[in-house]
Structure 1
């Protein structure tokens, strides 16, 4: 796991406004263990991350942990940036408008109209799904987990 990703635990704790001492108590672990997780010396077990997600009120931490710890998760879960709500919303709208402005919506409808993807349609379909829609999904998830968002 790259060093920057190991700090996700510390970032989530600090965003919740908890000290290491209070967080360790809430999690039922030692401060030494928490320091090891936050310094990147050890990766917390899934059970501890589950508790962190709850204690820190951070589903984003769960996604970041999965992406950082499992190759399979990196191929399934999009990378989600922790952004202020206003910035996340603007990014999402920009990507949706670009999708429409570039007529990707119409191209996707044309590809799907007959219920199958022909060999000549395959490259465009993959480009739309793997690039355009992926960007929209990432931006939508950034809105979902944006800082400053209230449930």
Structure 2
């Protein structure tokens, strides 16, 4: 597992105010197994992460788990920065404005139904901006309230 994700499970548990022993009991795993997850030595199975999401009341953990522990997540899911709700909303508004500002470029490239060779660089920029907006939208959903 990547070093950057070794504490996502621990952070979620601690944010829920649970000790390892309490969380292990609620998750129906041993404290040692939970410790292995939290140290990054073992990646928890999806069913365990689903339990963690519910027990810890941490929807963002599902996303972070996929983003950091799977090749698909690492390659294709947008970055997620979990902030407080007001800052998340402001970030989303900024990203929506950025996409709105390139609306005419999006239409110009997409109107004929294909991305031509000379449009590839522009489309790459468009994709980047849209992914940033999607990430900001998810941040609002997962915001610390």
- The question of a shared fold, defined as TM-score above 0.5 by the shorter chain, is answered with yes
Give the 3 Å change call, closer, same or farther, for CA 51–109 of structure 1 in structure 2.
Answer: same
Q: CA deviation at 1:120?
A: 2.1
Give the 5 Å matches for 1:115-130: 115-129=113-127
1: distance between equivalents of 2:31 and 2:126? 47
2: distance between equivalents of 1:31 and 1:9? 13
Give the 5 Å matches for 1:93-112: 93-100=93-100, 103-112=101-110
Q: Does 1:45 align with 2:45?
A: yes
> Residue 29 of structure 2 aligns with which residue?
29
1:27-79 Cα shifts (integer Å, max 9, x gaps): 01111111221122322222211211121122211111112221122222222
Instruction: Report the 3-state secondary structure (helix = DSSP H, G, I; strand = E; otherwise coil) of the residue aligned with 1:115.
Output: coil
2: distance between equivalents of 1:118 and 1:35? 51
CA contact (8 A) 2:84 2:144 kept: yes
Give the structure-2-normalised TM-score. Answer: 0.90
Q: Aligned-pair RMSD on alpha carbons? A: 1.6
Provide structure 2 residue ranges, at least 5 long, that are not aligned to the other structure: none
> Residue 61 of structure 1 aligns with which residue?
61
1: distance between equivalents of 2:48 and 2:60? 15
Q: CA deviation at 1:109?
A: 1.3
Provide structure 1 residue ranges, at least 5 long, that are not aligned to the other structure: none
Moved over 3 A (4+): none
1: distance between equivalents of 2:62 and 2:90? 24
Counterpart among 133, 137, 140 of residue 136 in structure 1 = 133
Residues matched between the structures, number = 145
